[in-house]
Structure 1
Amino acid sequence: FPYRMGLIASCMADMILEEAENRELDIDTIVGIAINGIPYATLIAEELGLELAIFRPHVEKVGVFSSNYASVMNKNVVIVDDVVGSGKTLRKAITATKKEGGNPVLCVTLVNKRAQNDIDGVPLRALIRTRVI
């Protein structure tokens, strides 16, 4: 189903472009959160012609960026994942990005299970929002 993932990633890329235009942002790098955020981030980075960085969260610690991909230092980054629930993984990615000298300007997910529109002050946008009734 890579074709369908590509269509979803294109929609996510459109959201990023819209947000960048509305907020007058220059975006340098797309950060994919391992494992499920990587395919979307890869397709988005390719479509937008941007660098790709990979973040690997750790259970007990914050996590690390893969040295095989772009650095986030001095870059405006968009963090991409598939689903946000508690927000813990995105928080780790935001913290690690700042620690590495990057500027997280936006988080984009396929599904948002939270009521909030940001995580630690970083705007959160999703294609689908779920709510518990």
Structure 2
Amino acid sequence: MGRIDELVERAVLLREKGLSVGQIADELNISKDTATWLLTRPKGGVVAPKDISVDWSAIGESSYRLSLMCEALSDLVQEGISEDGDVEVVVGISLSGVPIGAMVADALGCKLAVYTPKKQFEDGKKIEGAFSRNFADVSGKTCVVVDDVITSGTTMEEMVDELRRVGAKPIAIAVLIDKRGLDAVDDVPVLSLVRITRL
């Protein structure tokens, strides 16, 4: 079975389990446009969106391997932030960014906040993202945002806007993989262990 067929099959199974298009996109580390394309597979020569599927499950299924990646990401954050940028809170993006964020927060010796972006909620309804009240408050704090993959950059734009809205100061975005090859999002530097660049 071809890679596209495997992705279609996985997308359909996730849809049958009740996941939204945004959740499917997150699970497959693809854009929402690509997830929609996989689910609908329009006929008539419609070309698939330009995207790259990232499968980092070999890391995610092993707490040991994940901890090593998070140690490297923490080191990158420490190296990448300025001397005046003492991190008070690491914000893990739900879902895959939460375990990464927890390990990075531990390595940096700071608190953990969790943010669920609006794409995780029911498609078609006007629902905003939300900070979990079960974790640290970010209001007025210096923050580093942590996630697994930047696909389109939309979630990071939302995150930076939301942090600034509540008076927080985002000083870095740290991810395992950056599919966009971004240097910054709204003047917040992007630090990635792997950066994918289209030629």
2:107 equivalent among 47, 51, 54: 47
Residues 57-102 of structure 1: CA distance to partner in whole angstroms, max 9, x if unpaired? 0135441100110011111000001000210011111111111211
1:30–1:41 contact (8 Å) kept in structure 2: yes
Aligned counterpart, 1:81: 147
Q: 1:20-39 to 2 correspondence within 5 Å?
A: 20=81, 22-39=82-99
TM-score, scaled to structure 2? 0.63
Aligned counterpart, 1:117: 183
Question: 1:16/1:126 Cα in 2 relative to 1: closer, same or farther (>3 Å)?
Answer: same
* Higher RCO (CA-CA < 8 Å; seq separation 6+): 1
Aligned counterpart, 2:117: 57
Q: Counting strand residues as a fraction of each chain, which structure ranks higher?
A: 1
Residues 3-31 of structure 1: CA distance to partner in whole angstroms, max 9, x if unpaired? 000000000100111123x4531110000
| Runs of 4+ that moved beyond 2 A | 59-62
Please give the alpha-carbon distance, in whole angstroms, between the structure 2 residues aligned to 1:131 and 1:19.
20
1:62–1:95 contact (8 Å) kept in structure 2: no
Please give the alpha-carbon distance, in whole angstroms, between the structure 2 residues aligned to 1:62 and 1:48.
29
Q: Counting helix residues as a fraction of each chain, which structure ranks higher?
A: 2
Identity rate, percent: 32
Which has more radius of gyration? 2
SS in 1 for 2:98: helix
Aligned counterpart, 2:64: 3
Question: 1:124/1:62 Cα in 2 relative to 1: closer, same or farther (>3 Å)?
Answer: farther
Structure 2: 5+ residue stretches without partners? 1-61, 120-125
Please give the alpha-carbon distance, in whole angstroms, between the structure 2 residues aligned to 1:23 and 1:128.
24
2:160 equivalent among 84, 94, 99: 94
Structure 1: 5+ residue stretches without partners? none
Please give the alpha-carbon distance, in whole angstroms, between the structure 2 residues aligned to 1:97 and 1:56.
13
RMSD after superposition:
1.3
Question: 1:72/1:38 Cα in 2 relative to 1: closer, same or farther (>3 Å)?
Answer: same
TM-score, scaled to structure 1? 0.93
Tell me whether 29-38 or 56-65 shows the greater mean CA deviation.
Answer: 56-65
